[in-house]
Amino acid sequence: VTLGRIAIIGAGQVGTMLAMALRQAPPSAGITEVALWDRYPGRAPSKPAREAADRVLERIDDALSFDSVVVAIPVREIVRFLEEKGADVRAGALLIDTGSAKRVVVEAMARFVPPSVHAIGGHPVAGTERPGPDGAEPRLLRGAPFVLTPVRDDPQAVLGGRAISEAIGARPVEMDAAIHDRILARTSHLPHLMAAALSQVVAEIGDRHTPQLLGTGWQSAVRLASSDATMVAEFLEANAGEVLAAIGELENALGGLRSALREGPERLAEVLAGARVATETVRASR
Amino acid sequence: VTLGRIAIIGAGQVGTMLAMALRQAPPSAGITEVALWDRYPGRAPSKPAREAADRVLERIDDALSFDSVVVAIPVREIVRFLEEKGADVRAGALLIDTGSAKRVVVEAMARFVPPSVHAIGGHPVAGTERPGPDGAEPRLLRGAPFVLTPVRDDPQAVLGGRAISEAIGARPVEMDAAIHDRILARTSHLPHLMAAALSQVVAEIGDRHTPQLLGTGWQSAVRLASSDATMVAEFLEANAGEVLAAIGELENALGGLRSALREGPERLAEVLAGARVATETVRASR
């Protein structure tokens, strides 16, 4: 599998980051061009996005004839793109997205993209909290998980997805879209909501000393609250069932910690030590 | 105010970090010696702790005759130290602690330390999630807030606290202990519980793919869960009233986000954008 001419649809943080990383890919990846199309009609792509690509496409339809098409826009827009343009992607092309919710995307690919196109769901699990192309840091892709969620029995699509992932130095991980959504609801989507909730709690303290007391703990706990609100709202909504379940699980866990706190520091330390071990275990088995 | 001979009680992360920073203080701080005593009877202080100090003290009573005494042990142990040894600190000395809950400490200082000792509550808001002396990173103190919570009308104590803070390059912030506890419950203590709760939720996914999907978002959200469980349990318990209130506020905020999610992505994006602005505002006013 060679990637040939690649068109990236969407010049936000993810599209820009991928364009930068793909242009630095080794020759073995067989990339001959990286073109970008930006979703905002009438607005030129940002400077970092323009510099990231070999070429900027004028119309979204220009992307449909490329060897590889990477759709890097918010989840609802991905689904809309598949519905409106999925049938027009050229036969034999690789079609992959980067959305943070995969079941809705894979379903739309199965429905709107003909089997002659090698379609597969994709999700590079890396990024910064700085929205837009200025937040693009291609070095974060090195060693990061790149989830591939198959649409139909299509080995070429899987090979294409792996080729994209390997070209940017990420670690391809193949799995069912529903499993991706179940896990990501808890490892990523819930943390976005937690950061937003904590932001609200801290904003409501209303004491003039608050800003002076923000340390490194607060910093990392609210990091995700700076993400692009529209993008986050769209993947939370596209994964609403799992996200609502995850909120319930978090509330249970908080309730358990509250009980432990009421029982006294020995019991609380036990529960906290258990959480620490859980984190070390999952981290170590990566 | 000159600090003279300083004894640090406790060679964990905070005590070791302070010893390292104090030994690099400018000559104007007037520090002539930095000695460490470790809380574990019969156990030698760790290598980083030994290297951080000019001298290791054999008995805790050796610390009581120093010009400045810094108590850097978990909150309950600070209170016990004040009860058992507070009356024996030499007259005219500066006595300061580093605990993350201040009301219980200041009350114990008022009760057990004679007015001839310049006692003040202290809290350097900086540290890493790696427990123990190996987690000591003195560079984190530069520019960090160093809260000072007065015990009684004692300008010498405040000057002493400011001198310690300035010697290590931190930013002294004076306030009432109750206000400190109210703010820290939300900016630091609650985030510790959130990280622990998220660890539990992720541990219970129980899918073999989970460890492969942990990205930078998860990383920062669970960072605090790796902290020393006993230390965390003790400051949570010492600030239980405010922490329980903060948990309730977080639950309310999560409930609001759940409702917004059910209303649809436009409404959710609005709420998330509000949280983002709240975070940027509080960050900008530091």
ipTM reported for the complex surpasses 0.95: no
CB A202 to CB B269 under 8 A? no
Taking only the tens place, the pLDDT of each residue in B87-114 is 999 999 999 999 999 999 999 999 999 9
* pLDDT score recorded for residue B139: 93
* pLDDT score recorded for residue A217: 86
- Cβ within 8 Å of A, B 46-75: none
Cα distances (Å, whole numbers) of residue A234 to A73, A228, B278: 10, 10, 21
CB B190 to CB A207 under 8 A? no
Nearest to A194 among B194, B237, B244 (CB): B194
Structural element, H or E, at residue A5? strand A4-9
What does DSSP assign to residue B46? P
Neighbours of A262 (CB within 10 A): 12
Rounded Cα distance, B8 and B260, in Å: 50
Q: B203 touching A, CB under 8 A?
A: yes
Mean pLDDT (chain B) is 93
Taking only the tens place, the pLDDT of each residue in A236-246 is 999 999 999 99
Read off the pTM: 0.90
CB B217 to CB A271 under 8 A? no
- The beta-carbon contacts of A280-286 under 8 Å, at least 24 apart in sequence, are A280/B226, A281/B203, A282/B202, A282/B203, A282/B210, A282/B211, A282/B214, A283/B211, A283/B214, A285/B211, A286/B211, A286/B212, A286/B214
Chain B residues with beta carbon closer than 8 angstroms to that of A173 = 209, 212-213
Residues of chain A with pLDDT under 50: none
Chain A residues with beta carbon closer than 8 angstroms to that of B237 = 261, 264-265, 268
* pLDDT score recorded for residue B127: 83
CB A186 to CB B201 under 8 A? yes
Cα distances (Å, whole numbers) of residue B71 to B15, B40, B165: 8, 14, 14
Residues facing B35 on adjacent strands: B7, B55
